[in-house]
Structure 1
């Protein structure tokens, strides 16, 4: 069993999606309540404890001492349950500069290290910086989230720094926290760019995507950046109109215009009343286009009840892109067979299908 703090933050949610994809059970530790039966229920069986919760906003005192207090509460909850985890992992995002936040995170690391020594557990102090990913909070979770939020709304990003930083995607951080990869691999997956270049890349992707086209996704960073941008853009524009060219022969409609990289296209038929899908993807970009029949596309953000429903018809084909980390399904709501075209940005790999069953 795994104990996790900080369930509601960017890293905490991405960590839980990775554990969910792996089928590994976990317990959310609510550090607002660390006493009484509810606070420790199930923690006695914990063999891995992952501390993600942190405070990054508030007075100097709140930020510095608050992060230390959260670490103490996490340890206290485990102690109260009689847990003796074999592995204690810390999402240490406070390694840059000297300020109340970094001081608090450093002192929190010391609290956790002492507990790990007492439990005779492996202590993993995972250093993470400049994390970005789907559904982060703009103006709070970092410059990437803020840029994506503003650009998706047609606003110009405010660039007030020429800093060169190394950015890492939240799914990579989650894999490191869960034990899939180590610190060295996490560092290797980081991409170093300047803040102005980051804004330029997101803006360029947005300009292509507003035309209903897929930008060049020629590196994992570009793919992850695009998926992060889509998590903001898809709320505003979930459907991309398609343009048909018609002459005496009939009609031609371009489904996907991708600017480089691999891709795979397929076609499916679905009987009336039947639903296909009910899964989500962690990384891949997927597009649906219904070309015959009537259908309902249902999307649900993983680990939540947040849902979206989109009605589509082959009489008026549109492109609908599936956001990463959203379970999705396609239901034939008509009386005739449904014909749907599918496109993904990567070739299907049976060894790593990136398709996790989850009802929409």
Structure 2
């Protein structure tokens, strides 16, 4: 098992990397609370170094140089002083091409890495990362995604200076997968020597804000936006990771009457809706049919009989169903149908319809089976 040093171990990328490596490598964790002597010992022991530590929001501009170029230089000097040519992976930034103190400090650190490789023959992996998003990124620090996920999920306002500003993003799981690939000898590299994350996403601040607000509103409307795209799916997972600990749950409206109750659970413009009902013994629900709408019934508790009749015919088709044996019933159009509780206990049923109920065009017509 390789010994792997991770600098910036308590950070966003470091925490995700260590979690992914757990059980597959012996991890030496270094962060700001560790001593110089510990760093020297870790560097000497390590078979591979993930150099993720850096400074991007200092109190003084001079800290950029010390925390990025200076700390990188320190690690490489320890390696050279011990005649080691340990592979080193470093996270740089797309800002390394910009003329600002942070970008210059990252560019200088990159140069040190390539010099180290040329002098020792060691493998180096330098990643100019764009904005990285995902779980555990600190809000109100240097990530608009993290800050807005936190604020929207906590009911706080977000500030948009220019809604059309474009963001180039990479997802944390893609970053970690690439880094582990580098550890195992399969880094993605271009001719200039830099390494890269193969999948990136592009969005605007306006689009980002709209998606996050839609995620929040979905608890009230029960309507989820399409998560067919990877970016939308990854962003939704990220958003949920910022929910307050006392805000993981939300109530559904239970429409109660003498039959029991019914509650809508989930709606999707592309996938219809899901709802659930509790039906008391002897009670029948349904007795209606649809022109085009189709449904699925699944009894998960209790005993029931589901009946069908083609609306112009006389034959009644019956299916006996029970929570003891999960069976899904397809409800074809043109058949009036009902579900009756024939047991001594309440029946719980999950229903799916292929479209969201439209009060103006319900496609639901009463007719007893």
Asked if TM exceeds 0.5, the reply is: yes
Cα deviation, residue 29, structure 1: 2.7
Aligned to 2:39: 39
For 1:32 and 1:117, how far apart are their aligned partners in 2?
32
2:307 corresponding residue in structure 1: none
Aligned residue number for residue 105 of structure 1: 106
Q: Identify the residue that residue 239 of structure 2 maps to in structure 1.
A: 229
Over 3 Å counting, the alpha-carbon distance change for 1:169 and 1:262 in structure 2 is: farther
Q: Structure 1 residue 166 and structure 2 residue 168: aligned?
A: yes
Q: Which residue number in structure 1 is paired with residue 5 of structure 2?
A: 3
Return the alpha-carbon distance in structure 2 between the equivalents of residues 18 and 213 of structure 1: 33
Q: Partners in 1 of 2:82 and 2:262 — Cα distance?
A: 65
- Does the residue aligned with 1:241 lie in a helix, a strand or coil? coil
Contact 2:43/2:75 (8 A) holds in 1: no
Question: 1:183 Cα shift?
Answer: 5.4
Structure 1's unaligned 5+ residue stretches are 264-290, 293-338, 342-360
Query: Is 1:152–1:233's contact at 8 Å kept on the other side of the alignment?
Result: yes
2:76 corresponds in structure 1 to 75
Post-superposition CA distance 1:11-41 (Å, at most 9, x none): 2212222223x733321134664533x3344
Q: Structure 1 residues 262, 98: CA separation in 2 closer, same or farther (over 3 Å shift)? A: farther
Asked if 2 retains the 8 angstrom alpha-carbon contact of 1:217 and 1:223, the reply is yes
Normalized against structure 2, the TM-score is what?
0.62
Structure 2: where are the runs of 5+ without partners?
274-299, 302-347, 351-369
**Are the structure 2 counterparts of residues 35 and 138 from structure 1 closer, same or farther at C-alpha, using a change threshold of 3 Å?**
closer
Distance of 2:256 and 2:222 partners within structure 1 = 20
1:68 CA drift (Å)? 0.9
Question: Which one has more relative contact order, counting CA pairs under 8 Å at least 6 apart?
Answer: 1
Query: TM-score, normalised to structure 1's length?
Result: 0.64
The 1:142/1:249 distance shift into structure 2, 3 A limit, reads same
**Bigger radius of gyration, 1 or 2?**
2
Query: Match of 1:95, SS?
Result: helix
Do the aligned residues in 1 keep the contact of 2:52 with 2:90 (CA within 8 Å)?
yes
SS at match of 2:130: coil
Count residues with an aligned counterpart.
265
Residue deviations 1:137-185 (CA, integer Å, cap 9, x gap): 2221311112112211223310113322211112212222222662579
**1:106 CA drift (Å):** 0.7
1:5 CA displacement: 0.7
Report what 1:140 is aligned to. Answer: 141
Q: State the Cα distance separating 1:55 from its structure 2 match.
A: 0.4
Match of 2:210 among 200, 210, 214: 200
CA-based RMSD of the aligned residues comes to 3.3
Match of 1:219 among 219, 229, 233: 229
